[in-house]
Structure 1
């Protein structure tokens, strides 16, 4: 399904804006890297500070940093994003900004009643946008893979558990048997965590993976394979 671009009207700064979270999703960037790019731009030139507005969003009861940016801020940020898909997204965002600005010019309220109606409409729309952002953030967090540090830690746990199992079962433990044991634990991890290969383990299941490895024992199929390898030494 095609992603919807949400350009919203920011009452505090009286202009259309888009969130760093949505930009990260559209251009397939990690949100933390987009935030870092924005902060680097502001650090390099103080004039850029007026193009980005610090704020936060809520996810699972916690608040996380986020930026809102106007058209100029968006243009400055994505200037270095390359590739055909990046160009397509740039054009789509520019069109979305144009449409929002056109709507604002054609429907600027003049009376107090019209201003109040617009304010209520914006508030209602913003509530829906926040909910949509929260849902997207939850999905992004759920799909995020373990980082290199977590992957390395899981590797150490696997090595430790292999040594523990070898100490329990008194086989010769030739290289083929050790290979079968490692294949068994890795296969069971992938199946239990629905991750093929291990690098695809979801970050939110990292603790579950650690517990699984710590309590892992070879299946009867794995033990039979190891025994057969013992007989053929």
Structure 2
């Protein structure tokens, strides 16, 4: 993530947190994403790009007090909110790092064990559209969980439903407003088109890598959720 993007998301951390937790239907979606991780009590799950931590309680509910939840994000103001929200849970760790280069084996509290040892699932919600090479990130996450692990992606893209035109008009406005810099009125390439391309590529790569795949759509067909179990 570029420095300008970090500053942008850091500046809007409070509003982002409100949207992440209070948007109608979003809690149900986050609960569904946590369920798709196929977690059991005692498991370890890593969330790439955890933001303000809205998914972390749902993941902790799945792994129980004996499991481990690790959230990774690169933006400090966002992480501060995630840490504050999970301070009461001693098995939830929030680590500053890049989702494309997670702190594997780093000497940090809550750092990910090297070689995928003990990592049962990776979750990434509304993240791959921000990455330059989303398919490479998906490959890395699949390698991280290893055999019989699960990778789950949830991302927003233009709806394909019959009622899509008005929904997509709103979606495009949101994408433009949330793409730094927001002062730009015209883009050489529409950001929502590029976003669609990245998300389609990332979800396709997960389907290629996994032996068992679940595909769902939510929120008027805008949100795609793909969960894939890796081969033994």
Q: TM-score, normalised by structure 1?
A: 0.22
Between structures 1 and 2, the one with greater strand share: 2
Between structures 1 and 2, the one with greater helix share: 1
Larger-Rg structure: 1
Q: TM-score, normalised by structure 2?
A: 0.22
